[in-house]
């Protein structure tokens, strides 16, 4: 049976600035209010990065603590922390908030060119993050920017650092990573172990097309201003909630039920 659809809202990221879309939330309160709007629109999980009040990316524990408090005061939405942060950050900075025990956190299993930059994730660095996730019993969403990252995730399973059922996020269309062609999604889904769950995050113009494909395939979707700032060609989204509403509407039209946070928790084995 097809699972209810988990929609994750990636509300801010580290790279999207107000110059790109004036509606990107920076402060913990802004992030929480947007999370509430996304929940109302159909999201069951929010993927968050820390920001200073001026928008500078931060992975500081204090920033994440405030974000978590502000969201939990207002919503039952599941909260997923980024451990990717921004490309210049050290691994210690990227994982210093994990003791706050968010519902999930990301784990990128490889290095990838990221526009003009490099998103560095050596094998020792990946193991450090996986060990910290295990220490605080935080379930990972395995971020896949290219095919070899799936193999590395499977290697970590053999090493005992990751345990099934695994949950993957295929991030397609980052300049330097795997492109957003639909057949790339088919290929990646074919690589993952039976019993895994997966979501897709199409970057920029690939977001909606890949989300629709994932909904039709029985997978899950991530949308939001971290990945794409437009709701249609040339029209800026009023916030991630507008992108969530767009995919929720498509899913309903296709007869796909939308997961609540409680259902998403079950589907993702979050305990
Ligand atoms: N900002 C990117 C360099 C994640 O959140 O885990 C990394 C990223 C992945 O956004
Ligand atoms: Zn992110």
- The ipTM assigned to this model is 0.99
The predicted model gives 77-102 an average pLDDT of 98
Q: Which domain holds residue 115?
A: 7-267
Is residue 65 in some structural domain? yes
CB-ligand 1 contact for 83 (6 Å cutoff): yes
The vertex-121 CA angle with 119 and 124, nearest 5°, equals 160
Cβ proximity of 20 and 229 under 8 Å: yes
pLDDT at residue number 18: 98
Give, in degrees to the nearest 5, the angle at Cα 16 between 13 and 22. Answer: 120
Residue 60 Cα, ligand 2 centroid: separation in angstroms?
Answer: 15
Q: What per-residue confidence (pLDDT) applies to 117?
A: 98
Which CATH number do you get for residue 81? 3.20.20.70
Domain count of the fold of the chain = 1
As a whole number, the mean pLDDT across the chain is 98
> What φ, ψ does residue 178 adopt, rounded to 5°?
-70, 140
* Helix/strand/coil (H/E/C) assignment for every residue in 181-232: CHHHHHHHHHHCCCCCEEEEEECHHHHHHHHHHHHHHCCEEEECCCCCCEEE
Residue 244 scores a pLDDT above 90? yes
* Nearest atom in ligand 1 to 107's CA: 6
Name the residue with tokens 């784990």.
107
Task: Reply yes or no on whether the pLDDT at 271 is more than 90.
Answer: no
Average pLDDT over residues 125-143: 98
Q: For residue 1, is it within any domain?
A: no
Q: Which helix (H) or strand (E) holds 79?
A: strand 78-81
pLDDT digits 0-9 by tens, 142-160: 999 999 999 999 999 999 9
- Cβ atoms 146, 174 nearer than 8 A: no
* Average pLDDT of span 71-94: 98
- Whether residue 157 lies inside any domain: the answer is yes
Which mutation among 83, 84, 129, 138 tests ligand 1's pocket best, with the greatest number of atoms within 8 A of CB?
Answer: 84
Could you tell me if residue 2 is inside a domain? Answer: no
């Amino acid at each position: 049976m097809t699972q209810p659809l988990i929609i994750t809202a990636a509300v801010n990221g580290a790279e999207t600035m107000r110059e790109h879309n004036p509606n990107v939330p920076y402060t913990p309160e802004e992030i929480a209010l947007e999370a509430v709007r996304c929940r109302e629109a159909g999201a069951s999980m929010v993927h968050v990065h820390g920001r200073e009040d001026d928008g500078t990316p931060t992975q500081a524990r204090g920033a994440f603590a405030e974000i978590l408090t502000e969201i939990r005061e207002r919503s039952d939405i599941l909260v997923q922390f980024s451990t990717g942060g921004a490309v210049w950050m050290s691994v210690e900075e990227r994982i210093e908030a994990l003791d706050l025990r968010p519902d999930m956190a990301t784990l990128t299993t490889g290095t990838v060119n990221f526009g003009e930059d490099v998103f560095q994730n050596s094998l020792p660095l990946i193991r450090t993050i996986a060990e910290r996730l295990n220490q605080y019993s935080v379930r990972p969403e395995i971020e896949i920017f290219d095919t070899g990252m799936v193999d590395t995730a499977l290697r970590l399973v053999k090493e005992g650092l990751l345990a099934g059922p695994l949950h993957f996020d295929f991030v397609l269309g980052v300049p330097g990573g795997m492109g957003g062609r639909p057949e790339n999604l088919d290929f990646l889904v074919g690589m993952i172990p039976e019993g895994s769950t997966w979501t897709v995050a199409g970057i920029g113009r690939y977001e909606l097309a890949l989300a629709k494909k994932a909904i039709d395939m029985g997978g899950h979707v991530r949308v939001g201003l971290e990945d794409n700032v437009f709701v249609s060609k040339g029209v800026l989204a009023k916030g991630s909630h507008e992108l969530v509403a767009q995919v929720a509407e498509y899913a309903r039209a296709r007869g796909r039920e939308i997961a609540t946070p409680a259902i998403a928790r079950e589907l993702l084995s979050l305990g």
